[in-house]
Amino acid sequence: MFTEKGYATHLDREDDLKSFRNEFYISADTIYFDGNSLGLLSKRAEASIQTLVESWKNYAIDGWTEGNHPWFYLSEELGKLSADLIGTSPEEIIITGSTTTNLHQLTASFYKPEGKRTKILADELNFPSDIYALKSQLQLKGYEAQDHLIQVKSEDGNTLDTQTIIDFMAEDVALIVLPAVLYRSGQILDMKTLTDEAHKRGILIGFDLCHSIGSVPHELSDWGVDFAFWCTYKHLNGGPGSVGGLYVNQKHFGNEPGLAGWFSSDKGKQFDMEHELTAAPHAGAYQIGTPHVLSAAPLLGSLEMFQEAGIQNIRKKSLQLTNYLLELIEAELKEFKFKVANPCDEITRGGHIFLEHPEAARICKALKADGVIPDFRNPNGIRLAPVALYNTFEEVWEMVRILKRIMTEERYKKYENKRGVIA
């Protein structure tokens, strides 16, 4: 019977990825289901930090060109390690900047209003910082955001309809920026169809991969996506503030970046110190500043594990974990009025489950008090992210058991139904 602990134990024994759990620092007293906000530290990431600290210690300034991982080429090296995760060639990726600075760079590079094409199409469910960046880019071009930023509406407040997005691709749209996976509900957008439809209408399109990279496979090059950007501290386990990444389709190579900087340069010309930029002939042109070496270091170890595990295998287990969680929620928590607000089909469901409940904030506090780390999303959302590389089926079973006890005994009523400073 799937509701019994022995069933979960059996699934763990059959898990092809179970050995990777030993790679991570996991508290014996905690069930960590918040890896879609901040991934856990791995022993390999810790070791790769030390490796680059040692290169600083041993080589000093020569660390830029000496050692196992010369800093001058580190962003490109990490790009190569990331290519399989999003289905691109290594030249189309660079690990640099942060989510928002990379979005600013890409919008500055690809948003070129001309004639009646002056608007940017986004959506009302995207993470706020993406919208902040798009509004500021419009203002820099002299446009009022309230008139030139179009945000696709959601019919249910949690998901977006593909055809509705397509219907908004009007003749006055110059650029489209959408999330690959919605941060609240975990819905995976149909990136291929949206890209095809945008290009039919002469519109460039890019995607925010923050909640998809490392969790679901992509084929960005084959789909013809123009650009993408992401963080590396969620599913990629790069650590708090770890360096972000960006992708530019090779059909755009040779164009100068909208925001040029020191590391936009062709590496062969960079130290000629000329005041005319010779941009890198690949995605490296979209770098701005010097690589944040120590903040990028954990990715050497983390991305190595992703190469070993394989993104298709990670996706397979992720779906197994979330399917099992959905089954247990239906069987054990039906009476407590939780609403499953994420897509339930495997094609459009990302790497987490999203529950809505009027008492969500205090339920999350009760879960944390009982050793489960969830993620609260204002006003009434609970995100639960069992991560393929380090979570187990037994943890899924145990979490549901704990949540059922909290609801049965009304333990959540001890807490205020209000988010903390950080949620």
Transcribe 15-75 into DSSP letters.
-TTGGGGGGB---TT-EE-BTTTSPPPBHHHHHHHHHHHHHHHHHGGGGGTSSSS-GGGHH
Task: Return the closest-CA partner of residue 205 out of 296, 307, 301, 121.
Answer: 121
Instruction: Mention every residue, 6+ apart, whose C-beta is less than 8 A from residue 149.
Output: 119, 120, 122, 131, 134, 135, 138
User: Mean pLDDT over residues 185-196, rounded?
Assistant: 98
Statement: residue 423 has pLDDT above 80 = no
- Name the H helices within 169-249: 191-200, 220-223
Statement: residue 417 has pLDDT above 90 = no
Residue 136 marked ligand-binding: no
Is 160:123 a contact under the CB 8 Å cutoff?
Answer: yes
Residue 390 marked ligand-binding: no
Residue 257 marked ligand-binding: no
**DSSP 8-state secondary structure symbol assigned to residue 238:** -
* Dihedral Cα 302, 308, 310, 315, nearest 10 deg: -60
Q: What is the pLDDT of residue 359?
A: 97
The neighbouring-strand residues paired with 152 are 123
User: Mean pLDDT over residues 199-228, rounded?
Assistant: 98
Query: For the chain, what percent of residues have pLDDT higher than 70?
Result: 100
Distance CA 186, CA 328 (A): 19
Strands 375-377 and 372-373 come out as: unpaired
Residue 218 marked ligand-binding: no
Q: What's the pLDDT band for 418 if we cut at 50, 70, 90?
A: confident
Residue 211 marked ligand-binding: yes
Q: What is the pLDDT of residue 182?
A: 98
Task: Return the closest-CA partner of residue 189 out of 160, 220, 210.
Answer: 160
Q: What's the pLDDT band for 133 if we cut at 50, 70, 90?
A: very high
| Locus of tokens 């001058």 | 72
Is 321:12 a contact under the CB 8 Å cutoff?
Answer: no
Is 194:228 a contact under the CB 8 Å cutoff?
Answer: no
Residue 208 marked ligand-binding: yes
2-40 pLDDT, tens digit per residue, is 999 999 999 999 999 999 999 999 999 999 999 999 999
Is 357:382 a contact under the CB 8 Å cutoff?
Answer: yes
Residue 232 marked ligand-binding: no
Distance CA 41, CA 412 (A): 30
In whole numbers, what is the pLDDT of the chain averaged over residues?
A: 97
Q: What's the pLDDT band for 206 if we cut at 50, 70, 90?
A: very high
| Locus of tokens 């189309």 | 92
Question: How many Cα atoms are found within 13 Å in the side-chain-facing hemisphere of 277?
Answer: 20
Residue 282 marked ligand-binding: no
Q: What is the pTM of this model?
A: 0.97
User: Mean pLDDT over residues 88-106, rounded?
Assistant: 98
Q: What is the pLDDT of residue 419?
A: 81
Q: What is the pLDDT of residue 395?
A: 98
Residue 290 marked ligand-binding: yes
262-318 pLDDT, tens digit per residue, is 999 999 999 999 999 999 999 999 999 999 999 999 999 999 999 999 999 999 999
Distance CA 264, CA 112 (A): 20
Q: What is the pLDDT of residue 324?
A: 98
One-letter amino acid identity for 388?
A
Q: ∠ CA 199-231-262 to the nearest 5 degrees?
A: 85
One-letter amino acid identity for 398?
E
342 φ/ψ angles, rounded to the nearest 5 degrees: -95, 160
Q: Supply the CATH classification number for the domain 5-32+310-408.
A: 3.90.1150.10
Structural domain spans, the chain:
5-32+310-408, 47-308
- Classified by CATH at the fold level, domain 47-308 comes out as Aspartate Aminotransferase; domain 2 (3.40.640)
Residue 156 marked ligand-binding: no
Q: What is the pLDDT of residue 420?
A: 79
**DSSP 8-state secondary structure symbol assigned to residue 120:** E
Q: What is the pLDDT of residue 247?
A: 98
Residue 233 marked ligand-binding: yes
User: Mean pLDDT over residues 80-103, rounded?
Assistant: 98
User: Mean pLDDT over residues 376-395, rounded?
Assistant: 97
Q: What is the pLDDT of residue 297?
A: 98
